[in-house]
Amino acid sequence: MPLYRDKAEILEFFTQKGILLSPGALDIILEKNMGSFINGLLTDDVMNSGYISEKDLFRILEKPAPSSGRDFEIYVPDLVRDSSVEEFRGYFVSRYEKLRKIITTSIAMRGTSSISSAKKSTGEVKVVGMVSSTSVTKNGHKRIVIEDLDDSITVILMKGKKGFDEVILEDEVIGIVGSVSSGDKEKVIFANEIVRPDIPFRVIDETHKEPVYIASVSDIHVGSKTFRKDEFSRMIKWIKSSSEDSKQIKYMVLSGDVVDGIGVYPGQENDLEILNPLEQYEMLSDLISEIPGDVKVYIMPGNHDVVRLPEPQPVFSEKIRKMFNSNVTLLPNPFTLEIEGKQVLLYHGMSLNDMIELIPGANFETIGKAIEEILRRRHLAPRYGGKTPIVPSREDRHVIENVPDIFITGHVHSHAVGNYRGVRYVNSSTWQSQTDYQKMMNFSPNPSMLTLFDLNSRSILIRDFKG
């Protein structure tokens, strides 16, 4: 990796990328000797705005809190963003390998071969590939180009075949069962079946133990003028109470956008009651310090929080960590928690906006559909890019490697619970009133709902704190 040691070299680097650097930002880069990883500053936000201010630097490079002293391991996402070809290749290889492993466990995919050997064979072939493009032939069939690590092939999915109505997204990894064309012309596969990694059907064991609840809230937006503070406080008070259900709450998850932040969108200052993000976290800390100490609280960042925007997002800085009591654990986004033998997948949910655009019938009101399409693809952001900035690091953290028992997400301010093949999921309710943007989009959020999952049974409880 190149080292940019002095002012001239650093300035030249950014000028070549078409990025303007504020004098303050340049001083910090020089002062903190950050020349060796300035590639990491080229986030999508920076590339889009063409400008880096001191505030942006704070946002991108804020050091994550150390992860010691916990009973499970918390990964530290790569802080450096290097958009070299090798990094991208490494990222997609990781995605491909992980998903291939899942797909080939399916009985339908027994005897999977590589694309290059499939091209040499005759009769039925089974291959796994990442979708590089999709189109429609003039006869209305689907044409999908897939790639594995060494080769690529065109797959034709004829009208009427199993899976023809499925939405195939670029960058998703799928299995194909079909037959390869004969003759000397360029080989194609005529697909009989599309095999997704998907969630295997399972029977959920109902235990007859006392309920143990994990409570879920998201998108609290503390600091915003539209934060529903009274309702949030009332919810905390209820958790503190000795009611039958609240007594059984042992865990609580805050899945991102816990504060409103600053500089997230133009003119945000006008919508803020508290301008300083650190004071916003202080207020959040005050509010949740009322939660009994024996309830373990997990907080992950979202796109409004003061960490870098591209995912995977690191945990909050040590400065913020210190504001919270010892029952609070900070997590990166995304993250899988293992609680009482159950897998709880947490993801703030930025890719839901992309899924709404890509999946017909999915919208803010029917967000469960988008969530289920994510689960079927075993990937939290199946389409790379779009509205979800992702660091192309060597490990793809968005692959859903283990089948979750519970999937908690947020971001879009809907509230929806569901069950997909035994995976209970929620798009957690927000604690912010309708914003101007949502008004413009004609979307009414469903705020101030607390969702409780019982870790010992299939039951989900919802409590509404509105009004």
| Residues binding Fe ion (CB under 5 A) | 257, 302-303, 411
Taking the complex as a whole, the smallest distance from the CB of residue 409 to Fe ion amounts, in Å, to 10
- Listed in sequence order, the residues at least 6 apart from 384 whose beta carbon sits closer than 8 Å to its beta carbon are 92, 170, 171, 390
Q: What DSSP designation does 206 have?
A: P
Q: Give 257 or 373: the residue with its C-beta nearer to Fe ion.
A: 257
Q: Give 87 or 257: the residue with its C-beta nearer to Fe ion.
A: 257
Q: 3-class DSSP state for residue 173?
A: strand
Beta-carbon-side half-sphere exposure of residue 315 (alpha carbons within 13 Å): 21
Of 246, 348, 245, the closest CA to residue 290 belongs to 246
Paired residues of 210 in beta bridges: none
Q: Give 56 or 305: the residue with its C-beta nearer to Fe ion.
A: 305
Unique residue bearing structure tokens 């010691």 = 68
Taking the complex as a whole, the smallest distance from the CB of residue 261 to Fe ion amounts, in Å, to 10
Taking the complex as a whole, the smallest distance from the CB of residue 336 to Fe ion amounts, in Å, to 20
Q: Give 231 or 257: the residue with its C-beta nearer to Fe ion.
A: 257
Q: Give 246 or 414: the residue with its C-beta nearer to Fe ion.
A: 414
Q: Give 62 or 257: the residue with its C-beta nearer to Fe ion.
A: 257
Q: Give 224 or 246: the residue with its C-beta nearer to Fe ion.
A: 224
Taking the complex as a whole, the smallest distance from the CB of residue 29 to Fe ion amounts, in Å, to 28
Burial class of residue 212 in the structure, from the number of CB atoms within 10 Å of its CB (0-12 exposed, 13-18 middle, 19+ buried): middle
Which structure tokens are listed for 380? 């939290």
Of 360, 352, 358, the closest CA to residue 426 belongs to 352
Taking the complex as a whole, the smallest distance from the CB of residue 63 to Fe ion amounts, in Å, to 22
Of 30, 54, 32, 52, the closest CA to residue 42 belongs to 52
Distance between CA atoms of 71 and 403, rounded to whole angstroms? 21
Helices (H), 114-247: 115-120, 229-240
Q: Give 398 or 411: the residue with its C-beta nearer to Fe ion.
A: 411
Taking the complex as a whole, the smallest distance from the CB of residue 306 to Fe ion amounts, in Å, to 13
Residue number of the CB atom closest to Fe ion: 411
Distance between CA atoms of 72 and 335, rounded to whole angstroms? 12
From start to end of 152-255, where are the E strands?
152-157, 173-180, 188-195, 213-217, 249-255
Q: 3-class DSSP state for residue 167?
A: coil
Taking the complex as a whole, the smallest distance from the CB of residue 410 to Fe ion amounts, in Å, to 7
- Listed in sequence order, the residues at least 6 apart from 185 whose beta carbon sits closer than 8 Å to its beta carbon are none
Taking the complex as a whole, the smallest distance from the CB of residue 344 to Fe ion amounts, in Å, to 19
